Structures are given as C-alpha cells and as structure tokens.
Chain A
C-alpha cells in the first residue's frame, strides 16, 4: 500500500474517488438544484479518478 501511495496518480485518483462518492451520494439523497450538480460533478470526478487509478495500475512498477 505504501508503494501505491507514493504514486501521485493513485493518490489523486483516490482523492477524487472519495470526493465523487460523497457528491453522488449527497446528490441522490438530497440535491435541490434542477441540474443535479452534485451528481453531474461527482460523475465527472468519478470518471477522472478511474482514469488516474487505471493509469497507475497499468504502470508495471506498481503491479503486485
């Protein structure tokens, strides 16, 4: 885990993954805006976090 946390792509991916989950959950339970901004922004962040984590996993140095 320590090795993974030393890769910035994983750290950034993890951060946005957590934030996106919070936003999506908040958006699904209570979002007063007509554009569903929490779900919209959370989904974009989720996609971004998956890309970052995938890039990290594709790097041979960090494969288990």
Chain B
C-alpha cells in the first residue's frame, strides 16, 4: 500500500483530534468518579454510540469482513441473532438492576447480590481478560501496519499505545467514550464507500449474487445440517451456543460494554443505551460483512482484484478488507480508510483499558488493599492503573509476537470464563433463592466444565488434550466453541441451582433492588409510549426479524 502526504496528513489530523479531546476534557476530571465513571453524566446519544463502538474493535471490522468472505451472509448471525436480542434483554431486564443498585461495575453488582469471593473471582478474571485482550488488539494493529505500510513493530506499538495512554490518562473514561464516538463515525464513513465502489465493480447486488453460491447468500436456509453450510454449525448449536449463551454472556455481563450504559445520567437513558445502540448494530453487517462477499465475487469475476493469499497458498481472509481498501481507494480516501482501521484497533484497546482501570481500582484495590483512602488517592490509583494496564498490553503484544499460539489460548480462556457468567447473573437476578456459595461454585464448575469439554473433544486438530481419542469430533472450531459454551453454561446453571438448594440464601431485605421479584418496576407512566424502552425494544426486534426474513 502506497500512502502519500495527504494520507499521512489525514492520519495526523485524526491523532491531533483524539489527543485534543483528552486535553479539553482534562479540566473536568476532579474525582475518581469523573475519571473512572464519567460522573454518570454522559448524554444518551453518546453512551449509545460508545456502546456500539466499544465492541467495534479489530475483531469486528477486520474479522467480520474476513468471515463474510469465508462464510457469506451467515456471518450476520453474529449481529441479528448473536447481538440484538441480548442487547434488548440487557436494556429491558438487566439494566434496572445494574443501574438501580448504584453499583459502579459489574463485579460490584456481584458483591451486592452475592459475596466478596464471587466478586473477587469475576473481577480478577475480567481484569486479566481485558488487559490481555487489549494487548492482542495492539498486536493485531502492529501486524497490520507492518504488512500494509512497512512500519516496524516497535513504531506501531509505541505510537498506538502512546496515543491511547495519553488521551485516556488526560480525560479518563469520558475521553475514551468521546473518542469511541468519533471513531464510530470514522469507521462508518471511512469503510462505507468501499461497499459502494465494490458493488459498482461487481455489477450491483444482482451481479454479486451471480458470482456466489446460494449458500453464501442465506442466513438460515442451510442451517438444517451442519455439513450443508460453510460454518459447519447446526441449528441447535447456533441458536443455543451463539444466540443464547455466548451472546447473552457477552452483551449482558461484560463490563466493557455494560459500563457505557452505566455512565448514563438516569435510569431511562441507561435502559435506552443498548436499545438505541442496537439500531446501528443491526446495520453494521452491510458495512463490515458485505465487503467480504463482494471480494469473493470480484475474485471469481477474474478481473484485476483477487483475494490475497498466504505463503502456503491458502486465502488470507484476514487481509480481505485492507486489500480492498488498497485496491479501490484513491489517495486521500485511502488515508481515511486506513485511519478508520487504526481507529477500530485503538477504540478496542481504549475500551479494554478503561474497563480494566475501573475494575482494578474499585473491585480489587479498594476491596482488598485499601478500603478507606481519600477519593484523591483512588483517582491517582486509577491513573496509575491506566499506565500499568497499557504497559501490560504492550508486553502482551510482544508475547503474542513470540508465541503465535498465545492468541488462540487467550481466546479459549475468554470463552471458558465468559460463557458460565450469564448463568450466574440470570439466576442471581431472577431467582432470589440463588445463594452466594451456589453462584461462586457454579461459576468455578462452569469454567472447569468448559476446560473438560475442550479436553475430550476436538475440531480441526484442536482440543482433545485430556484423552488419546476424542469422544466427539466437531466439524469446525466454531461448532466446538459453541458446544463448549453450551456445556459450560449448563454446568454452571445446574451446579448453582443444586448448591443453592442446600445452602442458606440472603434475607429478602438485603436483595431489594438486586433481584427481579423484590424490586419495584421502573415507572415510565409520564413518558409518551413511543419513548418508552419497551416500545423501542419492540421496534428493534421487529426490524431484526425482518432482516432475518429478507436474508433467510
């Protein structure tokens, strides 16, 4: 990819703006709450855009276009099945407890509902996951910049990590959120022209369809049998694994995204945040997945565009989007497109770092090391944690460079930890008989169950490390991941219930505002019906259903 001074100028302007946002927000940071919680004063439209953008990291932009090229329209299951319903559930049913309990974080809800050990387990695993995830994002960005621009690994790492550190350190969570919104619009406006130019070259929608197999153009039609679709996943695994366990586990319990709703100024805004975020989320497949399909069609047309290949001759799907940008974008727009890619990586990294510093400061440092320090002290700890979090991210990026398998390992561990968590929250919020011991041991057993299933099954040569002959061979690693998630969630769910029946629950009076049956419903009587969260949720679900029907 050859950049000119205009492209570099656009990248430089972007860097000036992200740093400038941090600089202008610096004077607003007066307390630890301002730095770590944005003082719960961020307007609804910003929290909503930040909610989508916090998830719009490297995996989304690069990964989904790669999946679009590999699996076709089935990739949209990660949005229309694996995101929207869970976002609606979070907004309508779970946000009243997160926001109403006044918890500053998801782990803090666990200490209010259950006990210290459950909070500690969740806080430690979440802190480790976010900081490693941030490092993986950094590594992927450095790899991309090295491949596209020839920048050295060190330069890419230091520049990206340095910029994220400066703007996060200056303006805290508000700065990260403001930049996420800028990054969201940049990603949308920077990548969308690629769809326009791609469709033009391929002969429009009909031209694209003519060069793709029918299986690439449908979401549900070929789900009856796993071997009939390119993902090699059957209907049950898709619905239960992705559509329930993994999606609800991520969107409803991961503090990285939930934090964006928790900083809204009031309950109604907190509830509406994931619902409004669902609107751009349901449209994102047309920006991030469609380029993958277009790339395959263009390659088959035999023109001057072809999908990139790896050294071993296989298609390098991860380079689909960068290759298309490089091929179709002229000087100027190329700078915008590349800046959009960099923004997606930085957005993902900043989101992880701000979630990490909140959880570390409130749920680990304040809970276990220094309970009664001054607010100024926690503000300093929050800032120090930001620096340390970014340094660990940099170290993880270098580790990932030395050991390729570490990325696979990290992804695996994330799945082990995230999947059972939703069972804990579901029971904790909606069944008052759930006990603290039930939640803690249920979580542990869910993670253990996930590791066991991975150890006794295999897919594409992965897993099966506990036995000489795997008891089941999945048709793809994705099917295996869904299977592990289902097993892990079910284990946690059953163990939590069984232990809860034989242990003593908390008193009802201690769970008011934390459990559905003991909490008064939020009043929306003074609000016009169309402004109520339920109406918005219904609209979002109906539109998502229509998308599923159109691309059936």
Contact = CB atoms under 8 A, between A and B. Distances in A.
Q: Which of B193, B197, B200, B333 has the most CB of A within 10 A?
A: B333
A37 B197 contact: yes
Given A15-B182, A37-B193, A31 B25 contact: no
Given A15-B13, A35-B197, A44-B189, A5 B20 contact: yes
B25 A6 contact: yes
Contacts of A40: 193, 196
B24 A23 contact: no
A22 B6 contact: yes
B330 interface: yes
Nearest to B200: A35
B24 A22 contact: no
Given A26-B331, A31-B330, A19 B185 contact: no
B189 A48 contact: yes
B193 A41 contact: yes
A38 B330 contact: yes
A33 B9 CA distance: 21
A32 B536 CA distance: 45
Contacts of A16: 185, 189
Given A26-B331, A45-B189, A15 B6 contact: no
A2 B25 CA distance: 10
B188 to A, nearest CB: 10
A50 interface: no
A18 B189 contact: no
B431 interface: no
A52 to B, nearest CB: 9
Interface residues of B, number: 28
B182 A19 contact: no
Q: Which of B14, B197, B328 has the most CB of A within 10 A?
A: B197
B336 A41 contact: yes
Contacts of A6: 24-25, 28
Interface string A13-27: 001101100110011
Contacts of A42: 332
B182 A12 contact: yes
B465 interface: no
B21 interface: yes
B10 A22 contact: yes
A33 B330 contact: yes
B223 interface: no
B10 A32 contact: no
Q: Which of B193, B200, B328, B330 has the most CB of A within 10 A?
A: B330
6 contacts: A11-B21, A12-B182, A16-B189, A26-B330, A26-B332, A38-B330
Given A30-B331, A48-B189, 19 more contacts: A5-B24, A8-B182, A11-B20, A11-B178, A11-B182, A12-B182, A12-B185, A22-B10, A22-B332, A23-B333, A26-B332, A33-B197, A33-B328, A35-B197, A37-B329, A38-B333, A41-B193, A41-B336, A44-B189
